A and B are shown apart, each in its own frame.
Chain A
Amino acid sequence: MIMVRGIVRPEKVADVMSALMYAGFPAVTKMDVYGRGKQRGIKIGDVTYDELAKELLMVVAPAKDKELIVETIMKAARTGGKGAFGDGKVFVSPVEESYTISSGNRQTD
C-alpha cells in the first residue's frame, strides 16, 4: 500500500476531491497546513509572505493505483493550462499495513 499526500491550493480542494471521487478514491483525509516552497514564499511589494496557507490531502490506496492517484491530483490541482508556482506537491510514501477499526481487519496490500 502507499500513502499519497498532496499539498494543494485551498481553492482547488473541491476540484481535487471530486476528481478523486470520480476516479474511484472516495476515502480522503484533509488538513490545513502552512508552508513555503522553493520560491521562498511570495513577495508582494515590500511585504514577504513566508508561510502560505495550503491544504494537505491524504489518500491511502493499493500500490498499483499510484500513477492514477498522482495523475488525478496533479491534473485537478493545476491552475491554468500549464500550472503555476504554488500549485503544490505530491508525496508518495509506503504503508506496510492498515487496519479497519470497525471490523479489526488487517490489510497488507
Chain B
Amino acid sequence: MKEVCAIIRMNRINETKRALADAGIPSVTAKKVLGRGTGKVEYLIQPDISTEFEETQNPSECGPKLIPKRMLTIVVPDASKDKVVQTIIKINQTGKSGDGKIFVMPIIDACRVSTGEQGDAAVDEQT
C-alpha cells in the first residue's frame, strides 16, 4: 500500500475530488494546512500599503508568510498509485509556483474498522 499525500491550492479541492472520484478513487482525507515552499511568491495585495501598522508587518520574522493550502491524504494499493498521482497533477497543474507537492510514502498495514479486514482488502473500493 502507498500513502499519497498531496498539498494543493485551496480552490482546486472540488475539482480534484471530482476527478479522483471519476478515476475510481473516492476515498480521500482532507485537511486545511498552512505552509511555505521554496518558491518566491508575491504576498502583497496592495504593494503601497503603509508598513507603520503592526498588523502589516510580518510578526514572526521567519521569512515568507504561510499560505493556506489543502492537504489530501489518500491510501491506495500499489497498483493505483500512478493513477492517483497523475490525476492530481493533471487537475492542479497551472505551471506557476505554488501548485503544491505530492509525496508518496509506504504504508505497512491498513485495517477497515467496520469489518476488521486487513491489508489490501481494507483499502480496496467497497462494492
Q: B-facing mask of A1-44, CB < 8 A → 1, else 0? A: 10100000000011001100100001111110000000000000
Chain A residues near B94: list those with CB within 8 A: 102
| Number of residues from B at the complex interface, CB < 8 A | 39
B60 and A95 within 8 A (CB):
no
CB of B118 within 8 Å of the partner chain: no
Known contacts A31-B71, A104-B93, A94 near B105 by CB under 8 Å? yes
Contact of A96 (CB < 8 Å), options: B36, B62, B71, B105: B105
Residues 1 to 42 of chain B near chain A (Cβ within 8 Å): 2, 6-8, 31-38
Residues on A with C-beta less than 8 A from B6 are 101
* 30 sample A-B contacts, Cβ–Cβ < 8 Å, listed by A number: A3-B103, A14-B61, A17-B63, A18-B62, A18-B63, A26-B38, A28-B36, A29-B7, A29-B33, A29-B34, A29-B69, A29-B71, A30-B34, A30-B66, A31-B31, A31-B32, A94-B106, A95-B104, A96-B2, A96-B105, A97-B103, A98-B104, A99-B101, A99-B102, A101-B6, A101-B93, A101-B100, A101-B102, A102-B99, A104-B93
